Structures are given as structure tokens and as C-alpha cells.
Amino acid sequence: MTHGTKRRISAVASAFTWILIGLGLTLTVIVLSGAALGWRPVVIQTGSMGDAAPQGSLVLAAPAGADDVAVGDVLIMRRPGAATVTHRVVQIEERAGARVAITKGDANSTVDPDPYPMAGEQLVARKVVPGGGFAVRAFGNNYVVMALVVGAAAMITTSVLRRIWGVGTHGAPVGAASATTDSGDSAPSAEDEPAWPWAVS
């Protein structure tokens, strides 16, 4: 493997790692900002909501009173002993003095068989981040987090060592001859330009 190929692979790996770190930080900010407003994250497990909330999406749900839930809202339904279901409210009825929601997944052809009784606080979807659920799961994996931390630390350490050794924004490696122009002046080098603090070439 040539030196140029190694550098290209290193650059791609560095960029990919930073993209993952940036995605993780972005999701963290989104979730924490929502948490400050009382919102809660929900990962969509199936494709029953179609394009509105594809499988693997991260949904941020806000609390709402039962009387505030309206037709068209996407409701996060939590039943004791059953999986959480996220479907759209298509009808609201009063049954035996209780307010119930008739729900349906956008991609489903029929409504859900069991009406959902609404009492007390409900969770209504407010924001959808497609693919965000996959990222949340990945960052919840200790091995993935460890790999990202090690990768970031390696890039930062490499950048610092390159500066100490005289490579990067301080010019050519120590002991290397500098290029000159016809007039005898030193030719400008791209390495003389300020670089991103953690750039690794």
C-alpha cells in the first residue's frame, strides 16, 4: 500500500469518525433540548407510520392532556404489559364517560382493533428525526461509543504530535529544504495557511 493510499484511507476514516461524532452530538442536543421542555424520545420499531415516521426514526413526544389530543395527532400509546405503539388519531369518541382514541398507522389499511382510552397525561409526537433511532441505538452500544472515543482521541493526539514534530501549520518537516522561486524568495506553501485545529492529513 502506497503512502498516498494510506493517507487517503486515513482521511476517509477521520472524516467518517467526525461525522459520527457530530451526529451523536447533534442527537444529544436535540434530545436534551426536548427533555428540558418535557419531551421524551421514542424510537420507531416498525414501518406502520409510513413516510411520516419511517422505521428507525427518532420521535420526540410532548406531554399533553387527554382533552388536548385531537384528530390528526400522532399518539404514543402505552398499555400495561404491551409494546408501545405510535399511530395517528383518526377519530375521538366518548365511551362510558371516558375519552377514547381510534387510531391507525398511516401505512395500515385498517384502524387498530382496540380503541385507546385516554386518561391523564398523553404523549403526542412533535418532531421526527428519520434514522435518528438507529443512531440512538448505536450510541447506546458501549462498543460503538468506545470506538468513537478512541478514534477521536487518536485524531487529536496525532494532530498534536504532528505539530510537536514540526508538521502541519508550522511548515515542512524539520530538516526539509524549502522551495524557492526564481527570485530566490521562499515559495508560498499550502502548509503555511492556518489549518483546522484537528486536521489530520
**Model pLDDT for residues 124-171, shown as the tens digit of each residue:** 998 888 887 777 676 665 555 555 555 555 655 666 666 666 544 444
23 and 59 together in one domain: no
Instruction: Give domain status of residue 177, yes or no.
Output: no
Amino acid occupying residue 30: I
Distant-in-sequence, close-in-space partners of 106: CB < 8 Å, separation ≥ 6: 48, 49, 50, 51, 52, 88
User: For residue 165, what pLDDT is reported?
Assistant: 65
Domain that holds residue 51: 43-128
37/31 Cα distance (integer angstroms): 10
Instruction: Give domain status of residue 22, yes or no.
Output: yes
14 and 50 together in one domain: no
93 and 157 together in one domain: no
Instruction: Give domain status of residue 3, yes or no.
Output: yes
Query: What domain count does the chain have?
Result: 2
3-state secondary structure of 195: coil
19 and 48 together in one domain: no
103 and 163 together in one domain: no
Instruction: Give domain status of residue 186, yes or no.
Output: no
85 and 124 together in one domain: yes
Q: Residue 177 pLDDT > 60, yes or no? A: no
Q: Decide which of 128, 155, 188 is a domain's last residue.
A: 128
124 and 47 together in one domain: yes
50 and 18 together in one domain: no
In the structure grid, which three cell numbers stand for residue 172, read together? 515542512
122 and 145 together in one domain: no
Exposure string of 37-58, with b = 16+ CB inside 10 Å and e = fewer, is eebebbbbeebbbeebbbbbbb
Instruction: Give domain status of residue 75, yes or no.
Output: yes
pLDDT category, 186, cuts 50, 70, 90? very low
